[in-house]
Amino acid sequence: MSLTFIISFVLLILMAALGRHFIQLPKNIWLLFLAQPLGMASSSMVVFAGGLLATKIAPRPELATLPLTLMILGTALAVIPASLAMKKFGRKNGTILGLLIAVIGALVAMQAALNSAFSLLIVGSILLGASLAFVAQMRFAAIESVEHSLDAPKAISVLMVGGIFAAILGPEVAVSGQNWFDSPYGYAGSFLGLAGLLLLAIIVISWIDPINPPQQHESEGARPLIKIIQQPIFIIAVLAGAIGYSVMSYVMTATPLSMHEVEGHSLHSTKWVVQSHIIAMYLPSLFSAILIRYIGIARLMILGCVTYIGVVFIALSGQHVMHYWWALILLGIGWNFLFTSGTLLLPESYQGNERFKAQAVNDFSIFIVQALGSLSAGIILFSQGWNQLIYISIPVILIMFGISIWYFVLSRKELVTKEV
């Protein structure tokens, strides 16, 4: 393994230990902080290694983003089963089940690399995607693990900071393991290394205490799902996550292909841009809880949209490495603000005994539009080019900007409240 990987892994463990000692949050939060980046490494692995491997073994160049698209689709299709598994088996056992699926997916992808089998890469990507539906539930486990709702933003911030390490660990394992085995185009060892990270995540999750969140309003009974999703607060929460994710996935998926395959930038530069982007997705979590305290969720959503507009201007300014780098940095920051806003708004729309179905609808919506963004990215990039790809994102960003203004106005009038 590279020195960067070793330092990052040690730092992850050290931060969890120090955080447990100095920050007053339950033990579960810090175990989730450790496990989440290990589980999320699947995503950055498919984005980086899976995408580059696909360009070599796919039947046609425009299918290079298909494994990533099907990974996201696998996530979307697994959202409801993941939610049901969490309800039936509990957060701990449900998460372990999801990580076991990921281990199988990583091993299948390894076989794809060994045999240059595009169909196996697709199967492995779908399984890895399905596991991410379980990993995504960790943020709800964090919210449910805190004793007081006021600690929820802090818990979410801690968990999302852990995503920085996923940005480093995934690509570093991809590069380090690229030539571990003799395979036509490399990366077989990369997926074996990923399987090792996932097994470590299972060990960490096994130490989590049972999660028993307070059940508000249980005596009143759960409302019909249609009643929950009709609430303005629910609609805004889902759209913040869905649009934030779709734009991010759309541009991010196209970036390594545009850089390495179209513009001819080096693999090292491409890796650096992708890693920087994923770090930028999670680094703002160090201060997002403070931002929310002082400016509120509505303004944070607006700030996320403004950041996305900055992405458009930079991405259209040129296609040198630094243009990609700055665009992807802003893309990550904008995603963080929108996704954090949506995650914290969502619990305001449901009662304790409604959480699993509300969370399932939310995540299903997010990952479906993310899959559409990823699929369209490869098609548009290879047929119309980078600039046109960016132009197409503008209307979606403006829609999200309008939604953010809508929520700001509603919150000012105190019209967006939890229905009880």
d(CA 277, CA 283): 10
Q: Which of 301, 160, 303, 295 is nearest to 240 (CA)?
A: 301
Fold observed for domain 224-414? Growth Hormone; Chain: A; (1.20.1250)
Which of 287, 46, 29, 41 has its CA nearest to residue 147?
A: 29
What is the C-alpha to C-alpha distance for residues 308 and 40, in angstroms, rounded to an integer? 23
> Tens place of pLDDT for every residue, the chain, 420 residues?
778 889 999 999 999 999 888 888 889 999 999 999 999 999 888 877 887 888 889 888 778 878 888 888 898 899 889 989 998 999 999 999 999 999 999 999 999 999 999 999 999 999 999 999 999 899 889 888 888 777 887 888 888 888 888 878 888 898 888 888 888 888 999 999 999 999 999 999 999 988 766 555 444 677 888 999 999 899 999 999 999 999 999 999 899 889 988 888 988 898 889 889 988 998 888 887 788 888 888 999 999 999 999 999 999 999 999 999 999 999 999 999 999 999 889 988 888 788 888 988 998 899 888 888 887 888 899 899 999 999 999 999 999 999 999 889 887 766 544 444
Rounded to an integer, what distance in angstroms lies between the CA atom of residue 232 and that of residue 82? 26
pLDDT at 356: 85
User: What is the location of CATH 1.20.1250.20 in the chain?
Assistant: 1-208, 224-414
CA 20, distance to chain mean position in Å, is 24
Instruction: Look at residue 219 in the predicted model and tell me its pLDDT.
Output: 46
* pLDDT value of residue 213: 60
Rounded-to-integer distance, Cα 124 and Cα 121, Å: 5
Alpha-carbon distance 402 to 4, whole Å?
42
Calpha distance 288→227 (Å, rounded)? 31
Question: Hey, is 127 helix, strand or coil?
Answer: helix
Q: What is the DSSP letter of 348?
A: G
> Residue 364 and residue 133: Cα distance in Å, rounded?
9
Fold of 1-208: Growth Hormone; Chain: A; (1.20.1250)
Q: Which two tokens stand for residue 299?
A: 């303004």
